[in-house]
Amino acid sequence: MSHEHHDHEHSELGEMDLRVRALESVLAQKGYIDPAALDVLIDTYQTKIGPRNGARVVARAWADAAYRDWLRRDATAAIASLGYSGRQGEHMVVLENTPQRHHMVVCTLCSCYPWPVLGLPPTWYKSAPYRSRAVKDPRGVLADFGVTLPESTEIRVVDSTAEVRYLVLPMRPASTEGFSEEQLAALVTRDSMIGTGLPLEPAP
Amino acid sequence: MTYLSHADLGGRPNAERVQPEAEGELFHAGWEPRALAVTLAMGATGSWNIDMSRAARETLPDYASLSYYQIWIGALEKLLAERNLVRPDELQAGRALHPPQPVARVLQADAVPEALAKGSPTERPATAPARFLVGDVVRTRAQRVDHHTRLPGYAHGRHGVIESVQGMHVFADSHAQGLGEQPQWLYRVAFSGTELWGVDAAPGTSVAFDAWESYLEPAA
């Protein structure tokens, strides 16, 4: 549901605020949850686990051929070596983009997403238009993101139907020879790791 | 059929544009982070598994009209009510009115980082050889099933090629029904656009997804 939608429905917003507050109170009173744990969970996904993690993985793969090979063989271990593991990323596979094939990841059945490397999924990833259209009209979806790929590039959509989680490894932008991993990571966008975008071009 | 999922959206007609979003834009209302956190914290109690929560979400009758965090809250209330952990009168009152039921664990604040870093792996030791090899041509199950499943509707009765053997994993269908893990081999299977969409297929496109062994049979 879009931001605009919420802005027009203040009453619904208030209703959800009250409903979630009531639920949280009952769960805490019954001793099922530690209210302090909720704050830690929220802080974790707001400040610690997000797409900059994935950008570090991609930058390392661009800079280090041995690491790239490790990602191809065992992405779960290679990603864990940088400190990213666990919930919704227990079994990782990296999809490597080439001039011949571009990958785009979707979860048509719910919202499966590689949390340890990308954080929480954006609203559009969970939305009906993306989940309906990505598998059948990926070039149309890419156009919504302002991306056009050559007709000679196959578009491979990967639907996350089990507990394997997919990270797209985009192609390294041209004119980045000699860039440090930090400089490379700054070019890696979240959408480029889902496959709905491309990395940024370096400033001339 | 009595089981009806409203979440199987792949390939359904939809003329709406996808609305891109900035990276930092995580929540759109004050209650959404709380909804995320109570869902994760209650999941950690072990009162249900992830496949049961997916089943609870996809069967909400008003699924299509709800935002994603509204779906999470609706399903959480349903899972709690089914287990008598929280009853509807308590949600109404906003306070506990009945004694708590025992839960297996309570996630404490200081245990959160470790719990998230550990996650819940679903791969299990292989107990039988895999039926299919990379390169094998298979056909997906054509018939619908009357329970939670992870074979998308757009790929029923379609031919694909085994692209990767992903290990033995907890079988979502049985796990969601409370029938145990019953691990099966999991495969990534690739399908051409024309096999899935016929003449409507966009040129130069293909789809792959993960399928448990019992979703597949050798191509005739």
Inter-chain residue contact B10 with A130, CB threshold 8 Å: no
Residue A110 annotated to the active site: yes
B1 within domain boundaries:
no
Inter-chain residue contact A145 with B20, CB threshold 8 Å: yes
CA distance linking residue B167 with residue A147, whole number of Å: 35
Nearest to A128 among B14, B58, B85 (CB): B14
User: Of B118, B152, B172, which closes a domain?
Assistant: B118
B210 within domain boundaries:
yes
**Are residues B104 and B161 located together in one domain of the fold?**
no
Inter-chain residue contact B11 with A27, CB threshold 8 Å: no
Question: ipTM of the predicted structure?
Answer: 0.97
| Chain B residues with CB-CB distance to A75 below 8 A | none
Q: Which helix (H) or strand (E) holds B187?
A: strand B184-192
CA distance linking residue B45 with residue A28, whole number of Å: 13
B6 within domain boundaries:
no
Q: What is the pLDDT of residues A80-122, one digit of tens each?
A: 999 999 999 999 999 999 999 999 999 999 999 999 999 999 9
Q: What is the pLDDT of residues A128-182, one digit of tens each?
A: 999 999 999 999 999 999 999 999 999 999 999 999 999 999 999 999 999 999 9
**Are residues B99 and B130 located together in one domain of the fold?**
no
Q: What is the pLDDT of residues B27-59, one digit of tens each?
A: 999 999 999 999 999 999 999 999 999 999 999
Statement: A50-194 belongs to CATH 3.90.330.10: yes
Residue A83: which of A104, A106, A60, A64 has the closest Cα? A60
CATH number at B184 reads 2.30.30.50
B198 near A CB under 8 A = no
**Are residues B214 and B167 located together in one domain of the fold?**
yes
**CA distance from start to end of chain B:** 28
**Are residues B114 and B143 located together in one domain of the fold?**
no
Inter-chain residue contact A33 with B107, CB threshold 8 Å: yes
Taking the whole predicted model, whether its pTM rises above 0.90 is answered as yes
Kindly report the backbone phi and psi dihedral angles of residue A145, in degrees, each rounded to the nearest multiple of 5, phi listed first: -95, 5
B20 within domain boundaries:
no
| Chain B residues with CB-CB distance to A161 below 8 A | 150-152, 209-211
- How do the domains of chain A map onto residue ranges? 3-46, 50-194
**Are residues B127 and B183 located together in one domain of the fold?**
yes
Nearest to A25 among B29, B95, B205 (CB): B95
**At residue A8, does pLDDT exceed 80?**
no
Question: Total domain count for chain B?
Answer: 2
Q: What is the domain extent for residue B39?
A: 31-118
B148 within domain boundaries:
yes
Residue A112 annotated to the active site: yes
**Are residues B88 and B134 located together in one domain of the fold?**
no
Other C-beta atoms within 10 Å of B178: how many? 11
Inter-chain residue contact A40 with B113, CB threshold 8 Å: yes
**Are residues B114 and B129 located together in one domain of the fold?**
no
